[in-house]
Structure 1
Amino acid sequence: MRNIALIVSYDGTDYYGFQSQPGGNTVQDKLEEAIYKLSGEEIRLNGSGRTDAGVHARCQVASFTTNSTIPTERWAIALNTRLPQDIVVQSVYQVPDEFHARHHALNKTYRYTINCNRVRDLFRRRYEVHHPTPLDVEAMRAGLKHLIGEHDFSSFTSPLSTKPSHVRTILESWIELEEAEADNLQTNPAYDRAWDERHYPGKQRGVLHLYVKGSGFLYNMVRIIAGTLLQVGEGKIAPEEMARILAARDRAKAGPTAMPNGLSLWEVVYEDLPIGRRKTNDF
């Protein structure tokens, strides 16, 4: 008996999330089906965490035990020939018997991507939310600082959350900006700096990547944080309001739940194991 860990990337657009559900069509279902086709074993995967319908993963970790004698280095290629095109096993590791993908995760990082150029990007539309007006990125960064540390995040979770405690710890959070090219309207209809400076002073266009790293997350937590920060970027609420919203412990005080397609599980980190860490910034 061996304990195997898979590093999996997937486009979640057409799935009902990672974790198996009665209705089927989840990423976990597809992975377990591929393992059965390969090894003949009916196994149950343990994922590092759930991702909701329409949410993606650059680095999901899933573990399972197997009696198969297939060499560890052969699993990735063999599984990928049996998986749909929108799910890819990036690498496979044999891990200690006691390893559990969810229980032993030290922290996870999610990324939420917002495109605030005038024209949406056709080729990245599945992985980012289009917001056609500029945003105050510095105000969003200032608002984000109020969420760092251990807090009760009741204001930033769905009323459908079943967790007994909403206390969670955000270890780090930051925003990276891919600035739009400064060009004129005739050669680049997505951007006209002079027009924007007149109509949206202090705001920027580009693609924003919001990263949230924590020891654990609640249902819809990152999407609600993103939706509330969008209101900060639009100037509808001040950055310091984030602290008041957090202290209220009231979901009604926060902003809307942002669309799922902008969210990706970005990294999962384990002690003394190289799995979960990836150096590139792209899928």
Structure 2
Amino acid sequence: MPRFALKIDYDGAPFAGWQAQADQPTVQGAIETALARLDRGFAAGARIAAAGRTDAGVHATGQVAHADLEKDWDPFRLSEALNWHLKPAPVAVLQAARVDDSFHARFSASERRYTFRLIARRGPVTHDRGLVWQVLNPLNVEAMREGAAHLIGRHDFTTFRSSICQAQSPVKTMDEISIEEIALPQGAEYLFHLRARSFLHNQVRSIVGTLERVGAGAWEPIRVAEALAACDRAACGPVCPPHGLYLTGVGYPQNPFRSGTDS
């Protein structure tokens, strides 16, 4: 059966996360329903696998999944057909590519990239409602960068791990945390970019919520290092809401979308 990689973009607001559930709408469920209209294997209950199982309300601009199909589709026609059958769900297949049987969207991934969007301003957000986390007061971006620096490298991230996380080990290597500040009328947007091979459940939201406390002046930057060293969930700052979080990309040793411009 030919295997296809799919690059997927979605608004997570109407979904109970990526992973298929019997009684709630999910991104995986929407895509598998569309595939069932095109492929007999999916009509019989086949499944797709994704690089990351995003939580309820979390968005993606570069999720990657793979599917084994009975028909050897032209990749462009496959993406067009899926987008037709996905209507009106806020899910789009940006690209499809024929890949080797050895390719696995999750297990072949060498890195995952997330961006968290935070807007600080007094007036309520309008155009970005449901797409960003809003706080009222400006944040000290240099203090947040200083706090974030303590998290770079290989650490036990128990403090920044959900109590229901199913990962076998809390030890992860954080390759990048960079923070952009963009001036807005009457406020600012802060973009937190995080990159690692893999993440723990709620790790990004726990880190960003903690760094917001640093930016607000409630925490000194060194307290981030102290929280990390505590290996205690109680030492973590608040977990920020899901609607500001985006899975923006997945890296592989060989880009499955070789004709594209990004990984």
TM-score (norm 2): 0.94
* Alignment partner, residue 37 of structure 1: 37
Q: Alpha-carbon deviation of 1:38?
A: 1.7
Instruction: Measure, in 2, the Cα distance between the counterparts of 1:30 and 1:85.
Output: 8
Give the letter aligned to residue 69 of structure 1: D
Indicate yes or no: 2:251 matched with 1:272. no
* Alignment partner, residue 75 of structure 2: 72
Give the letter aligned to residue 222 of structure 2: E
Indicate yes or no: 2:97 matched with 1:116. no
Instruction: Measure, in 1, the Cα distance between the counterparts of 2:261 and 2:246.
Output: 14
Number of residue equivalences: 258
* Alignment partner, residue 238 of structure 1: 220
* Alignment partner, residue 169 of structure 1: 173
* Alignment partner, residue 134 of structure 1: 138
Structure 1 residues 227 and 160, CA, compared in 2 at 3 Å: closer, same or farther? Answer: same
Q: Alpha-carbon deviation of 1:173?
A: 1.0
Instruction: Measure, in 2, the Cα distance between the counterparts of 1:144 and 1:36.
Output: 44
* Alignment partner, residue 207 of structure 1: 189
Is the contact between residue 30 and residue 89 of structure 2 (CA under 8 Å) also seen in structure 1?
A: no
Q: Alpha-carbon deviation of 1:274?
A: 4.8
Give me the identity figure in percent.
38
* Structure 1 gaps, min length 5: 182-190, 192-204
* Structure 2 gaps, min length 5: none
Instruction: Measure, in 2, the Cα distance between the counterparts of 1:149 and 1:275.
Output: 29
Instruction: Measure, in 1, the Cα distance between the counterparts of 2:256 and 2:153.
Output: 26
Instruction: Measure, in 1, the Cα distance between the counterparts of 2:254 and 2:151.
Output: 28
Instruction: Measure, in 2, the Cα distance between the counterparts of 1:211 and 1:27.
Output: 23
Q: After superposition, what is the alpha-carbon deviation per residue over 1:72-105, rounded to whole angstroms, capped at 9, x for unaligned? A: 2201110001113400000000011110000000
Instruction: Measure, in 2, the Cα distance between the counterparts of 1:80 and 1:64.
Output: 15
* Alignment partner, residue 228 of structure 1: 210
Q: After superposition, what is the alpha-carbon deviation per residue over 1:167-224, rounded to whole angstroms, capped at 9, x for unaligned? A: 011111100111124xxxxxxxxx2xxxxxxxxxxxxx40000011001101100000
Is the contact between residue 226 and residue 258 of structure 1 (CA under 8 Å) also seen in structure 2?
A: yes
TM-score (norm 1): 0.88
Q: After superposition, what is the alpha-carbon deviation per residue over 1:127-178, rounded to whole angstroms, capped at 9, x for unaligned? A: 1111111111110011000000010000001111122210011111100111
Q: Alpha-carbon deviation of 1:22?
A: 3.3
Instruction: Measure, in 1, the Cα distance between the counterparts of 2:70 and 2:101.
Output: 13
Instruction: Measure, in 1, the Cα distance between the counterparts of 2:2 and 2:36.
Output: 16
Instruction: Measure, in 1, the Cα distance between the counterparts of 2:236 and 2:162.
Output: 11
Structure 1 residues 48 and 161, CA, compared in 2 at 3 Å: closer, same or farther? Answer: same
Alignment of structure 1 residues 48-63 onto 2, 5 Å: 48-63=51-66
SS of the aligned residue for 2:92 comes to strand
SS of the aligned residue for 1:44 comes to coil
Out of 93, 97, 104, the position equivalent to 1:100 is 104
